[in-house]
């Protein structure tokens, strides 16, 4: 089993700086959904524009990793790079007049939700693999009960209850993390 | 953060972070190799005038003739790097 998914962002950054290809693969895996969501959900870019932003952001991350001052601040750094790049993309499409509207509207709704979704996803990764898998299949890959049942070889009549059980575990995981976080601040 | 989470809210948030297209992710993961190739081409263009001339005349054709399979982003970056140099 690869050790990389369990590395903190700071550890991952250090491995990437050392030229570790597996660490880079993990960094892309960890943040690909995040960058994609900011571009598509936060700024409503077209698929073509989102792809340009996506590739450009990972190129910038790769080439500018040495300029990151605080290795543990990878996520806000990526968020900032992506938001700026999305605005540039909108401007290049002649949508300058809409940029302010986008910022005002989206900063308060969609982008905030993307941040919240990333936190939930981090908690998801703390669940057993079977729970991660079934929740990912149902919620982000839009698989039907039948497809999940066929692919995982479990009775379709138990899918709903398994999903509900995993959602409860996810909620407990989030609440546990929040309590730990509050405890560490006291 | 909005708390407590009910099942519906968790579902909404999980759906927000859908996977990026596999090809995009793969291309991003292959960046280190692509950067090395790019650096090699630029270094060779600096050392080999005939190669540089061929690149400037028809970048895509010259790269394909050398066995590369450049995509649009790769071509744009090489073009920028050659212009810088």
Range of weakest confidence among B14-23, B30-39, B69-78: B69-78
Specify the pLDDT at position A97: 46
- Do residues A31 and A61 both lie within one domain? yes
Residue-wise pLDDT for B40-79, tens only, equals 999 999 999 999 999 999 999 999 998 888 888 889 889 9
Specify the pLDDT at position A168: 95
- Quick one: what percent of chain B has pLDDT higher than 90? 61
User: Which of A70, A97, A118 is at the close of a domain?
Assistant: A118
Interface test with B, best of A117, A135, A142, A182 (most B CBs within 10 A): A117
Specify the pLDDT at position B5: 84
Q: Which domain holds residue A167?
A: 126-186
pTM summary value:
0.84
Structure tokens at A88: 């540039």
Number of domains chain A is built from? 2
Rounded Cα gap, residues B33 and B59, in angstroms: 20
Q: Hey, are the CB atoms on B17 and A34 less than 8 Å from each other?
A: yes
CATH number of the domain bearing residue A103: 1.10.1740.10
Average pLDDT score over residue span B35-44: 91
Classify residue B38: in a domain, yes or no: yes
Contact criterion met (CB below 8 Å) for A80 and A64: no
- Do residues A100 and A150 both lie within one domain? no
- Do residues A105 and A138 both lie within one domain? no
- Do residues A91 and A150 both lie within one domain? no
Rounded Cα gap, residues A161 and A157, in angstroms: 8
Number of domains chain B is built from? 1
DSSP element (H, E) containing A77: helix A74-92
Structure tokens at B52: 């540089």
Q: Which domain holds residue B31?
A: 22-84
- Do residues A165 and A79 both lie within one domain? no
Specify the pLDDT at position A109: 65
Those residues of chain A that have pLDDT short of 70 are 1, 95-109, 184-186
């Amino acid at each position: 089993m690869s050790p990389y998914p369990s590395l903190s962002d700071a550890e991952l950054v250090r491995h990437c700086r050392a030229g570790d290809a597996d660490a880079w693969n993990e960094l892309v895996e960890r943040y690909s959904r995040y960058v994609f969501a900011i571009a598509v959900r936060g700024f409503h870019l077209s698929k073509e524009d989102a792809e340009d932003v996506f590739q450009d952001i990972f190129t910038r991350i790769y080439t500018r990793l040495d300029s990151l001052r605080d290795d543990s601040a990878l996520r806000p750094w990526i968020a900032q790079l992506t938001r700026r790049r999305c605005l540039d993309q909108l401007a290049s499409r002649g949508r300058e007049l809409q940029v302010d509207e986008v910022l005002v509207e989206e900063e308060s709704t969609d982008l905030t939700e993307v941040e919240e979704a990333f936190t939930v996803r981090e908690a998801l990764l703390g669940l057993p693999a079977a729970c991660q898998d079934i929740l990912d299949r149902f919620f982000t890959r839009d698989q039907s009960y039948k497809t999940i049942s066929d692919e995982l070889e479990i009775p379709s009549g138990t899918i709903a209850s398994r999903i509900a059980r995993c959602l409860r575990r996810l909620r407990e995981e989030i609440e546990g993390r929040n309590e730990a976080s509050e405890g560490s601040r006291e | 953060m909005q708390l407590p989470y009910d099942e519906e809210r968790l579902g909404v948030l999980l759906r927000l972070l859908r996977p990026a297209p596999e090809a995009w992710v793969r291309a991003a993961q292959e960046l280190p190799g692509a950067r090395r190739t790019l650096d090699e081409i630029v270094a060779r263009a600096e050392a080999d005038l005939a190669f540089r001339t061929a690149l400037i005349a028809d970048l895509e054709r010259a790269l394909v003739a050398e066995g590369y399979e450049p995509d649009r982003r790769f071509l744009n970056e090489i073009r920028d790097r050659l212009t810088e140099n």
